[in-house]
Amino acid sequence: MEQHFKPKSQDQLQAQVEEFGDKGVKEFSDDQKKILKYSSELAKIDDINNLPSDLSPELVELINSNQKRYGNFLCKLKEKKKEIQFKKENIELFKEKFEPAIKELKEKIEKNNAKDQYLGSGSNGDAYWIEIEGKKYAAKFSRSNVQANFEIKPLLRAKNIKNAAQLVAYSFDYNVVIMELLPGKDVTKFSYSNVPEYSDRDIIQLIETVKELDQNDIVIDPKPSNFIYDEKNGFSVLDFHLKKTNNNSLPESIIDLSTVLTTGKYEDHILSRSDYEDPNYKEKLAKQTIEWNKSYLPMMVRFLTIIQNKYPDILEEYKRIYAEKEANPRISSSPIIDREHIPTDHPDLIPHLKKLEEIGF
């Protein structure tokens, strides 16, 4: 019987090239950057042993230098079937649903005309919202396609984790990652006068989210701007990474949430540049320290009491890890309750310090 083979679509071939760029070459290398950048163009080449005459020298060199690796990759194609199918479906989804809106947004950004859609910026990119069929999404433009590829991996692991960023689609042509637009406000954007009074339920929900991410081999970046808060939905985590051997442990990640819970609560007491030249600088600094601790210490009492009552094993493991690091002269570590820099004899702070001491801090 004569066999008929259905030729692969351009989207299928592009997905195949993207998978090679993701797994077949060194991460963050120039080759990875170029393969992901030109994946749609590379997918149009019928025969890598007979390249088109009008192909750019850069692409010719890229293909020739990776020809053997790509050949080995093709031999194991069946093992990559699931990953390639996902990438193919993503390419189709992006083209059909998101590309027109992203193209329009990029044109507005280039003309400095997208301020109304701006959500925020980080060290690795800028985020805007887009609206499609009455629904809003977050579109993050990465600094490079290899950075976008790096950020997609933990998002795939976080699929269906409530209160964590959720991947919808992405494109290496536009260096964009599209996610669900989660409700809430960046916790660093609350002014001193309107910082929410986070409930015990909010704090427990945040801890549970971090625990679930950890169970999926994902570690948080505890920078406060990576967290948003909504009165109804609680905290959501926007940025996280795949675990590596040198990452913080789960207990350390949970204790690091103290920076999220206390940010914004003392901004009215931060000294300005002119204060440093004031002859009363030391007095002002002492006052700032007291006011800061008036906000910080009560929250830490609540936070650590919740952990002690609901997650005692995590608290004890954190204390063990900290003691181990403190005993190692090659590791610099600071206590979360640093009495050396707290006016321990101040009457407003003494009750909180006593409670913290009872917890073991």
Domain boundary among 126, 154, 180: 180
Q: How far apart are CA 300 and CA 53, in angstroms?
A: 67
Q: Are 164 and 273 found together in one domain?
A: no
Asked if residue 206 belongs to a domain, the reply is no
Q: Are 193 and 332 found together in one domain?
A: yes
User: pTM for this structure?
Assistant: 0.89
Q: Are 71 and 112 found together in one domain?
A: no
Asked if residue 123 belongs to a domain, the reply is yes
User: Any alpha helices (H) in the chain, and if so which ranges?
Assistant: 10-23, 30-37, 39-42, 57-75, 81-93, 99-110, 145-157, 200-215, 250-255, 258-262, 281-310, 312-326, 350-359
Q: Are 286 and 330 found together in one domain?
A: yes
pLDDT at residue 255, as a whole number? 97
Asked if residue 325 belongs to a domain, the reply is yes
Q: Are 14 and 138 found together in one domain?
A: no
Gyration radius (Cα) of the chain, Å: 25
Q: Are 116 and 173 found together in one domain?
A: yes
Domain boundary among 180, 208, 237: 180
Q: Are 51 and 19 found together in one domain?
A: yes
pLDDT at residue 3, as a whole number? 45
Asked if residue 190 belongs to a domain, the reply is yes
Per DSSP, 143 falls in state S
Stretches in the chain below the pLDDT threshold 70: 1-6, 265-278
Asked if residue 219 belongs to a domain, the reply is no
Lookup: tokens for 77: 């194609």
pLDDT in tens, 138-166: 999 999 999 999 999 999 999 999 999 99
Asked if residue 87 belongs to a domain, the reply is no
Q: Are 102 and 68 found together in one domain?
A: no
Per DSSP, 94 falls in state I
* 228 neighbors 186 (Cβ within 8 angstroms): yes
Q: Are 121 and 26 found together in one domain?
A: no
Lookup: tokens for 322: 């900290």
- What total number of domains does the chain contain? 3
pLDDT at residue 285, as a whole number? 81
Looking up residue 145, the CATH number of its domain turns out to be: 3.30.200.20
Q: What is residue 195's three-state secondary structure?
A: coil
What range does the domain containing 346 cover? Answer: 186-198+245-359
Q: Are 323 and 193 found together in one domain?
A: yes
Asked if residue 302 belongs to a domain, the reply is yes
Asked if residue 352 belongs to a domain, the reply is yes
Q: Are 262 and 342 found together in one domain?
A: yes
* 336 neighbors 361 (Cβ within 8 angstroms): yes
* Contacts of residue 138, Cβ cutoff 8 Å, sequence gap at least 6: 119, 127, 128, 129, 165, 178, 179, 180, 181, 182
Q: Are 114 and 71 found together in one domain?
A: no
